[in-house]
Structure 1
Amino acid sequence: MEPRVRVHRLAEQVADRIRAQIISGGLADGDPLPKSEELIRRYPVSLPTLREAMRILEAEGLITVRRGRLGGAVVHRPSPANLGYNLGLVLAAQRSGIGDVAVALRHVEPACAALCAAREDRARTVVPRLRELHEEYLARIGDLPAVVGVSRRFHEALVGLCGNPPLIVLAGALEALWFSHEEGWASRTEPRGVPLSQREEAGAVHGKILDLIEAGESEAVHRLVASHLAAAQRNPEPSGSPAIDLTLLCELMQPPGEAADPQ
């Protein structure tokens, strides 16, 4: 018996073509899609079929459609934030708490740091960026909102510079999900609750992480980052591990703000 072949509907075929352009870079992040008239000339389908294709792409987070006379569609390249949003939906449906995300991040980010230390080209590709962020952290340590933002970028760099694309995406999604909740907590807590001594301690650990990566000490930096995250991930909610907040998930699709506490 011949295997059954699934025939794509026209709308799916149009969505496939546009999706391929976005993924290949033919359409850049923030680019407007051509108007409906141009798309129909390019892909000879009816207007309802084109609209269905747009709904498919919008549901995937690859475009945002603005309705009305001045509307149109804007391209969004896939990002860890997109994955973080969908990951958060799945975890929320499973009744997982944000504390579970913190635990996962404590396992994944140290692996990224170890890979940074194992890179033969780390002196050129990893160390300069981490040193730049560490020096900025120390220079701005008296400014809590600024130093929190630098701390977040330092941790994101540990992930983004590890050299393993699947791990970068996975860890980036976890980071986006965790930081979105940290920022939500930050908006409800007193900034003076993070004393200067605590920021100085975090900065000292960042310096040790940098030194270990520069020296190529993969196992040692793995241990240090794991213990650092365990100490730095604070949850101010009285329940200890609140449910994943779907309203905060929506903000993952917006430009990132600042994290709650230095890590």
Structure 2
Amino acid sequence: MKLLKLILITFFINCASTPSLKLPSEAKVVGQGGLFLREDCSQTFPKITLIPQFEKVTLIGEGPYDLISGISDRWYKARYKDKVGCLYGGYLNKNYQNVPTSAMLKLDQVIQSYKEKNHNKALTYANEALEIAPDYGEAYNWRGRIHYKLGKYEQCISDYSNALRSLTNSIMYNNRGICKSALNDYIGAKKDLDTALKLGGDSDATTLSNTCYVYGMLSDKKAIDFCNRAIETSPNNPYPYYERSNLRRKLGLIQAADEDLETYTKLKKTGEWDY
């Protein structure tokens, strides 16, 4: 299974009943080269202006989830100076208070190395960021992603537990749940994913797909419903089709399972979801 970011997985996703961000809230742009403010919450909408790296913005509302360059997060309605539009959360530092600029620079290097699939280099930068700022939630978030990629699942769980001290949102619980499932702790994974759903992950296809997988491993009849909802939410995300294919095959629905597997293969070839 794949992680959301936050990403994620990254995160990031803040939601409904217990949001980690009390809007309006300030954030800083951490993307190298800045971040475009757009007219609405999608890359298809026109750019309003380019916001330079480390500039402050005010987040005033939550938008839909998206996956851009392998980073899973949600869009935010935002205000920058006299302009209002949408910003992608994957390149925002949403808990920057008391975080030194040097640590944020290290985080930028983490993100760039991760996008380049140089996970060992990204891990080095994440460790350096946490040496500078030991309570830096975004750095724990990214290091958790990296540890998952490197197969270090116990460290992954520890990182997300630390991240949750300052980033109490659905993506952190989703990602920790998937780390637990990698260690066959499906009961623990289910508990985290159920929490992720309550915090807004019920509108995110990756969280729904991961929940489908974990419920399926526990032989819970509700598993396929989560896959169906994931596909309805994001029809171009391949992973719910893969999970539903496995479930349908177990139920003896071979033709339907093969159709799902064919859809998964076609969508996976785009490379957009290979994170």
Shorter chain as normaliser: what TM range? under 0.3
Give the TM-score, by structure 2 length: 0.22
Structure with a larger share of its residues in helix: 1
Q: Which structure has more RCO (C-alpha within 8 Å, separation ≥ 6)?
A: 1
Structure with a larger share of its residues in strand: 2
Bigger Rg over Cα? 1
